[in-house]
């Protein structure tokens, strides 16, 4: 297969396993490019990309911008981080701006689930969802799977536990879709109040005992508690959360095998993982960041080649 089955990247749930394989093969090539002395290719000189960030972001925004620049695209940036963005108004404004700027591709982060789908229906541009509320974050899940594949050889049959705030995490949902599609076994682990009731319908199992989950898995993906998406308390205190669901070196050393530790960032050191774990050889957190650029280059390149046709 040489092209994606989709014209937009709105969520992992719209992709096929072949799409993921194609993205990874393309990312392998771009990973080689970004390790060259001249880290740039002229592929997208005729493409204009708008990065629209209606929600805070550091690494995702920088990673997309770097990926776009390494493909030689023209890039414009718009950030309006605000929790009071009203969906209808702002997105209609966005649509009109995009139409008049004649951009080919839009990378958008937005607090409302479904914002990317909405935009894709109203704008004649290719849309990449860079996180829509607590819904999906497809490029994060792709770079996570790519990093597991790089470390362990393949995803098929691997056991992955996603730990933490599953309820509010778009990283969790996109990872579940991506890992299941590629044949991994997936568990989620966290306080019962932060695990949605429907989760088992997605083909994952629930484990509330972190030690048991870690003994079972090959990979633990540690998520940040999304305090900004909570209006009430879901657990008694941060200290108690850390005692039950935080990973520290002592806990890892007590397992009879070495597991891979992942984190999408930003890390709350001392809450979901301690510094000695985050900085240990077992953690592939910085590989995830590096792979993020190659994977995003691949997604942008493959979607752009569909525009050009």
**Which of 43, 51, 60, 174 touches ligand NCD (CB under 6 A)?**
60
Instruction: Indicate the helix (H) or strand (E) that contains 162.
Output: strand 159-163
The least CB distance from residue 132 to ligand NCD, in Å, is: 10
Give the contact letters, 244-273, x = binds to ligand NCD (CB under 6 A), - = no: --------------------xx--------
* Count of residues in contact with ligand NCD, rule CB under 6 A: 10
Q: Is 158 in the site for ligand NCD (CB under 6 A)?
A: no
**What residue has token string 């708008």?**
50
From the CA atom positions of the chain, what is the Rg in Å?
A: 19
Active site residue 59: yes
The least CB distance from residue 307 to ligand NCD, in Å, is: 25
Residue nearest to ligand NCD (CB): 224
For residue 112, give the nearest of 133, 91, 85 by alpha carbon.
133
Catalytic residue among 8, 26, 31, 60: 60
Q: How many CB atoms lie within 10 A of CB 59?
A: 14
Look at strands 260-262 and 126-132 and give their pairing: unpaired
Active site residue 87: yes
Return the number of the residue (95 or 117) whose C-beta is nearest ligand NCD.
117
Are 245 and 163 in contact by the 8 Å Cβ rule? The answer is yes
Active site residue 137: yes
For residue 75, give the nearest of 43, 107, 117 by alpha carbon.
107
Return the number of the residue (8 or 170) whose C-beta is nearest ligand NCD.
170
The least CB distance from residue 2 to ligand NCD, in Å, is: 29
Return the number of the residue (120 or 292) whose C-beta is nearest ligand NCD.
292
CA angle, 174 as apex, 173 and 177 as ends, to 5°? 90
Catalytic residue among 61, 137, 158, 170: 137
DSSP 8-class letter at 283: B
The least CB distance from residue 171 to ligand NCD, in Å, is: 5
**What residue has token string 């508690």?**
225
Residues 6+ apart with CB under 8 A from 249: 274, 276, 277, 280
DSSP 8-class letter at 110: E
Q: Is 116 in the site for ligand NCD (CB under 6 A)?
A: no
Q: How far apart are CA 64 and CA 295, in angstroms?
A: 10
Task: Please give the residues from 211 up to 240 whose contact with ligand NCD meets the rule CB under 6 A.
Answer: 224
Give the contact letters, 118-157, x = binds to ligand NCD (CB under 6 A), - = no: -------------x-----x--x-----------------
Look at strands 48-53 and 205-207 and give their pairing: unpaired
DSSP string, 170-199: HHHHHHHHHHHHTT-EEEEES-GGGS-GGG
Q: How far apart are CA 231 and CA 282, in angstroms?
A: 35
The least CB distance from residue 299 to ligand NCD, in Å, is: 14
The least CB distance from residue 71 to ligand NCD, in Å, is: 20
Two tokens at 65? 């911008």
Catalytic positions, please? 59-60, 87, 109, 137
Residues in touch with ligand NCD (CB under 6 A): 59-60, 131, 137, 140, 170-171, 224, 264-265
């Amino acid at each position: 297969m040489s092209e994606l089955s989709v014209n937009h990247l709105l969520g992992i749930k719209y992709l096929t396993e072949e799409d993921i394989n194609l993205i990874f093969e393309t990312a392998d090539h771009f990973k080689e490019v970004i390790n060259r002395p001249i880290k740039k290719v002229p592929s997208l000189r005729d493409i204009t990309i708008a990065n629209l960030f209606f929600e805070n972001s550091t690494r995702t925004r920088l990673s997309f911008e770097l990926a776009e620049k390494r493909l030689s695209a023209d890039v414009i940036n718009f950030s309006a981080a605000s929790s009071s963005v009203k969906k209808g108004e702002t997105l209609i404004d966005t649509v009109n701006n995009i139409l008049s700027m004649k951009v080919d591709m839009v990378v958008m982060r937005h607090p409302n689930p479904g914002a990317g789908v909405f935009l894709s229906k109203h704008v004649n541009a290719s849309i990449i969802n860079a996180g829509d509320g607590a819904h999906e974050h497809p490029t994060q899940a792709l770079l996570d799977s790519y990093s597991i594949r790089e470390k362990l050889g393949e995803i098929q049959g691997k056991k992955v536990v996603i730990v933490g705030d599953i309820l509010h995490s778009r990283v969790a949902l996109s990872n579940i879709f991506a890992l299941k599609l590629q044949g991994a076994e997936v568990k989620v682990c966290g306080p019962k109040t932060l695990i949605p009731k429907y989760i088992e319908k997605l083909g994952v199992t629930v484990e509330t005992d972190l030690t048991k989950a870690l003994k079972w898995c090959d990979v633990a993906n540690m998520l940040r508690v999304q305090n900004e998406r909570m209006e009430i308390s879901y657990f008694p205190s941060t200290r108690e959360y850390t005692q039950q669901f935080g990973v520290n070196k002592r806990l890892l050393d007590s397992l009879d095998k070495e597991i891979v530790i992942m984190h999408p960032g930003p890390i709350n050191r001392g809450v979901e993982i301690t510094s000695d774990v985050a900085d240990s050889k077992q953690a592939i957190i910085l590989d995830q960041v590096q792979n993020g650029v190659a994977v995003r280059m691949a997604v942008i390149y493959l979607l752009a080649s569909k525009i050009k046709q």
